[in-house]
Amino acid sequence: MTEEPGEPTGRVRITSPLTSAPAHVRRSVRQEIDESTGIGEVYMRSLIRAQLRAALTVAATLVLSIGALPLLFLAFDSVTEMHVLGVPLPWLILGVLVYPGLFVLGWLYIRQVERAERDFTELVEPHRPDSP
Amino acid sequence: MNTTYGMVAVALVAVATLGIGAFGLRMSRTTSDFYVASRSVSPVLNSSAIGGEYLSAASFLGVAGLVLAYGADMLWYPIGWTTGYLLLLVFVAAPLRRSGAYTIPDFAQVRLQSLGVRRVASVLVVAVGWLYLMPQFQGAGLTLRTVTGAPTWVGTVVVAVIVVVNVVSGGMRSITLVQAFQYWLKLTALLVPLFFLVHAWAGDDRPSPVAPAEWFRPFSQADGPGLYLTYSVMVATFLGTMGLPHVVVRFYTNPDGHAARRTTLFVLALLGVFYLLPTVYGVLGRIYARDLLVSGRTDTVVLELPSRMVGGTTGELLAALLTAGAFAAFLSTSSGLTMSIAGVVGQGLARGRLTTVTALRLAAAGCVVIPLGLALAAERIAVANSVTFAFALAASTFCPLLVLGIWWRGLTAHGAIAGLVGGGVCAATATVVTITASPGGWFGALMSQPAAWTVPIGLGLMIGVSLLTHKSVPANVSRTMVRLHTPERLEVDRRY
């Protein structure tokens, strides 16, 4: 090996691959959540945000449907005077149709949040035999 | 109306209630049994119980009477009482169950780590409960007078005594069975006579109700406080349901958050089916019982219709069935309310030398005495009004506490107390002003339906003061959020 004089060389450290440093351990999401680390917080916030979004969607739907009915009746006489099967339309809406509507909204909401919770479970404990 | 059938109906409901209560007693031994039925109630049974507990005198008798008197505008009440459950489902049902607390003050304490919030919330639970109990006791007196001619105080005292015996003997477990039985009794009691009534109406050439145009149409006049009143009723009932103590305590009897959601969905279905019926009674009452408008006894229309439209022994038997349903309504709602108030007061007493179960029994007896006294002393305060004030008070205080506590990390104990006190004082003032002075015009409207302005005050104070005191956010809020929002089947650390 020949060296040109005047050409500085950096010191090179050569280490054995077999050191006493611990190998990188894959930490589970559950640990991150249990120890309230930054990553755990991110997971929790995403779950809460998904659930809150579903709840606010239902609330907004209510405001725009049932909440808008009084204004609708006030603004359009044709709606209040319409008859369906001999029953005035406002009575049919307020006395009957509202209730199945509320049930369907609740059912859709439950489907949405249960899915979000399943996804979250899958994320946190991917190999649980009982996770669907 | 035949007195005997009515008396027999009332006696049967009372015996059945106490009998199922005694059956529950044999299964109820530990403190956990007593308070929340050991959290092992299935969704179907639990939702029947919630329906049975929730459908009070106001639903069974009041809605039909209001429709008879005021028409289409009154349909907002049952809609609001049902929609309140949908909002309860989406904002609080599962997290509240997962919080693992027994009562609202428990929830406030574990979430905010503050005894002060706990005390304020306890006082409010008792206030809301009493506002709701008083009209139940009064309604019972009126019904028994209509049916049997007995003095008003008899029915009031009878209901109060049965409720105390029931709560003291079995606690929540027996209440759950009693309530579930009473939902189905109430539904049957309204449904069966309706077939006969509609048949009689069809045989009578299907007459239409005779009424002025504004009875048929919602908001026939745009001016005046009509629109404000409607929206205020919506705010109170939509948001108040989640804060009623007897409704919230039911959610602790679900085994987990998933079951809490299922239960609420079933409740939506049960309420939807039930609320189809009182409207029909109201419309039929407008046709066949218009004289009740003149005498001001519209609340009794449901009980009066069978003898007027069907008549004979059939009519009297149907009337007795309706009486049984009405009595079930008073008993179930009063039992649930007494149980939830007693749960809160009993926990306070149990800090002393008493055992928890003894404390709960003492509290149950004590909590009934005061609304009973008020019901006996007060001249008749409109039943529907008193119930509305309970909703408005709950909506202005517990609704912000629950929703912000569950979804917003920034809520502090100071903010919660400010909101509970501010919202509570405003709603209580409006109640007192309406009952004592009953002012008219716009001021009267603002006082008689206060929710539209008291809820923003309670919510605003809670958010504003929390932001000002953001340094005192509880240190363990992240852990609490994990507990409230993660599904139970995940094995994460849930300690507070």
pLDDT confidence bin for B134, thresholds 50/70/90: confident
Q: Is the CB of A91 less than 8 angstroms away from the CB of B75?
A: yes
Task: Provide the pLDDT for residue B67.
Answer: 87
Q: Of the given ranges (A17-31, B267-281, B316-330), which has the lowest mean pLDDT?
A: A17-31
pLDDT score at A54: 92
pLDDT band at A107 (very low <50, low <70, confident <90, very high): very high
In a domain, A58, yes or no: yes
pLDDT at B385: 63
Place of tokens 């369907």: A104
A28 to chain B: closest CA residue: B492
Contact B272 A103 (CB under 8 A): yes
Q: Is A121 on the interface with B (CB under 8 A)?
A: yes
pLDDT confidence of residue B277:
92
A36 touches chain B (CB under 8 A): yes
Q: Is residue A132 part of a domain?
A: no
The pLDDT assigned to A125 comes to 76
* CA–CA min distance A23, chain B (Å): 25
A66 within some domain: yes
Give me the mean pLDDT over the B324-329 stretch.
84
Q: Residue B103 — pLDDT band, cuts 50, 70, 90?
A: confident
Q: Where is average pLDDT lowest: B33-47, B145-159, B214-228, B249-263? A: B33-47
B381-419 tens-digit pLDDT: 556 567 888 999 999 999 999 999 999 999 999 999 999
Q: Which of B75, B230, B231 sits opposite A95 (nearest CB)?
A: B75
Q: How far is A8 from chain B (nearest CA, A)?
A: 55
| Minimum-distance CB partner of B487 among A80, A106, A121 | A121
Look up the CATH superfamily of B3-238+254-382. Sodium/glucose cotransporter (1.20.1730.10)
**A10 inside domain:** no
pLDDT at residue A132 tops 50: no
Contact: A106, B89; criterion CB under 8 Å: yes
For the ranges B21-25, B32-36, B461-465, the maximum mean pLDDT occurs at B461-465
Identify the pLDDT of residue B332: 81
Please report the ipTM that was assigned to this predicted complex: 0.87
Flag whether A54 is in a domain.
Answer: yes
Q: Taking residues B290-309, report their average pLDDT.
A: 80
Q: Is the pLDDT of residue B207 over 60?
A: yes
Kindly report which listed range (B30-34, B363-367, B425-429) carries the lowest average pLDDT score.
B30-34
Instruction: Tell me the shortest Cα–Cα distance from B401 to chain A, in angstroms.
Output: 16
What is the average per-residue pLDDT within B225-231?
A: 84
Which has more pLDDT, B422 or A95?
A: B422
pLDDT at B442: 84
CB contact under 8 Å between A59 and B87, yes or no, is yes
Whether A67 sits inside 8 A of B234 (CB atoms) is yes
**How far A51 CA lies from chain B's nearest CA (Å)?**
9
Determine the residue of chain A that is closest to B217 in CA distance: A80
**Chain B residue at shortest CA distance from A53:** B90
| Contact status, residue B235 vs residue B455, Cβ threshold 8 Å | yes
Percent of chain B scoring above 70 in pLDDT: 89
At B330 the pLDDT is 83
- Between positions 45 and 74 of A, the ones with CB within 8 A of B are 47-48, 51-52, 54-55, 58-59, 62, 66-67, 70, 73-74
Residue A81 lies in a domain: yes
Contacts of B161 (CB under 8 A, 6+ apart): none
Q: Which residues pair with A88 in a beta bridge?
A: A83
Which among A34, A95, A103 has CB closest to B279?
Answer: A95
Is residue A17 scored above 70 in pLDDT?
A: no
Amino acid identity, residue B292? Answer: L
User: How much is the mean pLDDT over chain A?
Assistant: 80
Rounded Cα distance between B195 and B395, Å, is 37
Shortest distance between the Cα of B162 and any Cα of chain A, in A, equals 33
Q: Give me the domain span that covers residue A76.
A: 29-124
CB atoms within 10 A of CB B1: 18
pLDDT band at B43 (very low <50, low <70, confident <90, very high): confident
Q: Distance, in angstroms, between A21 CA and closest chain B CA?
A: 29
- Per-residue pLDDT, averaged over A96-114, amounts to 93
Output B296 or B12, whichever has higher pLDDT. Answer: B12
Domain positions in chain B:
3-238+254-382
pLDDT digits (tens, 9 = 90+) for A34-83: 777 777 778 888 889 999 999 999 999 999 999 888 888 888 777 777 77
Is A80 domain-assigned? yes
Asked if B494 is an interface residue toward chain A (Cβ–Cβ < 8 A), one would say no
pLDDT at B221 over 60: no
Is A105's pLDDT higher than 50? Answer: yes
Higher pLDDT pick, B359 / B161: B161
Does A109 contact chain B (CB < 8 Å)? yes
Total structural domains within chain A: 1
pLDDT at A131: 43
With an 8 Å Cβ cutoff, is A3 touching chain B? no
Contact flag A109-B487 (C-beta cutoff 8 Å): no
- pLDDT of residue B36 exceeding 70, the answer is no
- Percent of chain A predicted with pLDDT > 90: 23
C-alpha to C-alpha distance for B485 and A113, rounded to whole angstroms: 11
